[in-house]
Amino acid sequence: TEMGCLSIVVLGASGDLAKKKTFPALFNLFRQGFLQSNEVHIFGYARTKLSDDDLRERIRGYLIKGAPSENPEILSDFLKLIKYVSGGYDSAEGFLSLNKAISEHELAKNSYGSSRRLFYLALPPSVYPSVCKMIKSYCMNQAVPTGWTRIVVEKPFGKDLASAEELSAQLGELFDEPQLYRIDHYLGKELVQNLLVLRFANRFFLPLWNRDNIDNIQIVFREDFGTEGRGGYFDEYGIIRDIIQNHLLQVLCLVAMEKPVSLRPEHIRDEKVKVLQSVLPINYDEVVLGQYEGYTDDPTVSKDSNTPTFATIILRIHNERWEGVPFIMKAGKALNSRKAEIRVQFKDVPGDIFKCKKQGRNEFVIRLQPKEAMYMKLTVKKPGLDMSTIQSELDLSYGQRYQEVPIPEAYERLILDTIRGDQQHFVRRDELRAAWEIFTPLLHDIEDGKVKSVPYKPGSRGPPEADELAAKAGYVQTHGY
């Protein structure tokens, strides 16, 4: 590991993301020994006037929640590393005092080694440009020639192609691409990270993973709660920008990409970009949008909102491997369950002598959450004296198989990557552009009311039209044992 002092600055320290995700992830890294008290200092920055202790008290509860059995001493050691600086997001004065605090820490900890500064923007994107300008002007570590400055940003990166490009250009003027870490927390999930290994380290899958054998692929996100408390944000963005354009599309890349030249981040991201660029324009006959009943009761949501809280969109990849295979992207809020999974459905066996077709097809399911698992639905002889068949499962459930290994939180892993300088699991600028290119025309047409959301009941599977669309695209519901 690199030596020297590490300053982690959480901007927007009193906000929801910082409290719920960033600080707990830092705490988890600390208790596992990835952040050393003799090197690291954490700075919270926000507009609210708070003392160091006020901030510590605000986040304490969230830290305990994430690690209930932790020794209280470790918690207080961690809290001691946190300092707070208040200031505006375009205030030179504020950023000068932040720089002063960081520099003091660097001087106290070491003046020889390299100094590393990580700025985590747990902030609304509208302030990214000004905050980045402030960091660039006032918080770069000129005193120490070695070391680095890195900026971590969270989606939404713009609202469409044009605004995303504008934001990229603004940040790109201030920082180089290797300094910018665009987080998509789905890339930090264990089973998402497993996709490359699964596909490219297993002989089982290599020859089957293509249009000759696969009939359709579903990438599904469901949540069993609505937009509670985030109606204002959500109404402006909708489910496509909130989930599909980023999280599910990243998953699609990993499912569909060609084998990268190596595991180098650039090689992997090169292949992801190619897949995105091969996605055909969306055919509106293959789109179903929904909005749950009661969504507009939220006073922060406009009464005549057409914003989808549910969408099924079929993407088609125009290349040799995937032509003709629908990628059924499905995401919804206020549904009947919380689940994220990938379902790879294989074609029927030709010349079926068992007449087992109606029991369902081979299907390979990767459940990202909850209860991480991979299972294969396959046909076996029904145990017993009869020669009949049933659908059964080969099941690798992580909770059972890897009991002793706790699965890390996505944010924990991604923050560690930013410290280590590994950009593999972060979204590159050209990936982002290609992702927006796919969805921007549809998003504009939804805003213009040209594509409408149909109502669905909260707690349901979503609009029945979506199931019909998936069935039309070839998805066959299987019947378990």
Distance (Å, rounded) from C-alpha 480 to C-alpha 367?
A: 16
Task: Name the residue nearer to ligand BG6 (CB basis): 341 or 363.
Answer: 341
Residues 328 and 218: beta-carbon distance below 8 Å: yes
Q: Please, what is the minimum distance in Å from the beta carbon of residue 360 to ligand BG6? A: 27
Binding mask 394-433 for ligand BG6 (x = CB under 6 A): ----------------------------------------
Of residues 286-315, which lie at the interface with ligand BG6 (CB under 6 A)? none
At 436, the amino acid letter reads: W
DSSP assignment of 247-269:
IIHHHHHHHHPPPPSSS-HHHHH
Residues 214 and 347: beta-carbon distance below 8 Å: yes
Beta strand residue intervals within 32-140, DSSP E: 40-46, 82-86, 115-121
Q: Which two tokens stand for residue 137?
A: 């002007």
Distance (Å, rounded) from C-alpha 380 to C-alpha 393?
A: 9
Distance (Å, rounded) from C-alpha 109 to C-alpha 378?
A: 59
Q: Which two tokens stand for residue 473?
A: 């695209």
- Cα angle vertex 342, ends 337, 343, to 5°? 100
Angle subtended by helix axes 161-174 and 128-138, to nearest 10:
10
Residue 364's DSSP bridge partners are 344, 376
Task: Name the residue nearer to ligand BG6 (CB basis): 215 or 223.
Answer: 223
132 binds ligand BG6 (CB under 6 A): no
Binding mask 169-198 for ligand BG6 (x = CB under 6 A): ----------------x-------------
Q: Please, what is the minimum distance in Å from the beta carbon of residue 154 to ligand BG6? A: 8
Q: Which two tokens stand for residue 310?
A: 């549910």
Q: Which two tokens stand for residue 193?
A: 């990270």
Task: Name the residue nearer to ligand BG6 (CB basis): 39 or 223.
Answer: 223
Do you know the residue count of the chain?
481
Distance (Å, rounded) from C-alpha 138 to C-alpha 21?
A: 27
Under 8 Å CB-to-CB from 337, ≥6 apart: which residues?
222, 224
* Per rule CB under 6 A, count of chain residues that contact ligand BG6: 4
Task: Name the residue nearer to ligand BG6 (CB basis): 242 or 431.
Answer: 242
DSSP state, 463?
-
Please pick, from the candidates 39, 215, 242, 363, the single residue that binds ligand BG6 as defined by CB under 6 A: 242
DSSP state, 319?
S
444 catalytic residue (yes or no): no
Q: Which two tokens stand for residue 271?
A: 């292949």
Q: Which two tokens stand for residue 371?
A: 């209860």
Q: Which pairs from 443-450 meet CB under 8 Å and 24+ separation?
A: 443/159, 443/160, 443/238, 443/240, 443/241, 444/160, 445/284, 446/238, 446/240, 446/289, 446/306, 446/307, 446/308, 447/306, 449/306
Q: Which H/E stretch holds residue 314?
A: strand 310-316
Task: Name the residue nearer to ligand BG6 (CB basis): 161 or 220.
Answer: 220
Q: Which two tokens stand for residue 162?
A: 């044009």
Q: Which residue is nearest to ligand BG6 (CB)?
A: 242
With b for 16 or more beta-carbon neighbours within 10 A and e for fewer, the 136-163 pattern comes to bebbebeebeebebbbbbbbbbbbbbee
Q: Please, what is the minimum distance in Å from the beta carbon of residue 40 to ligand BG6? A: 26
46 binds ligand BG6 (CB under 6 A): no
Of residues 323-352, which lie at the interface with ligand BG6 (CB under 6 A)? 340
Q: Which of 185, 247, 318, 479 is catalytic?
A: 247
Binding site for ligand BG6 (CB under 6 A): 185, 223, 242, 340
**Which residues belong to the active site?**
247
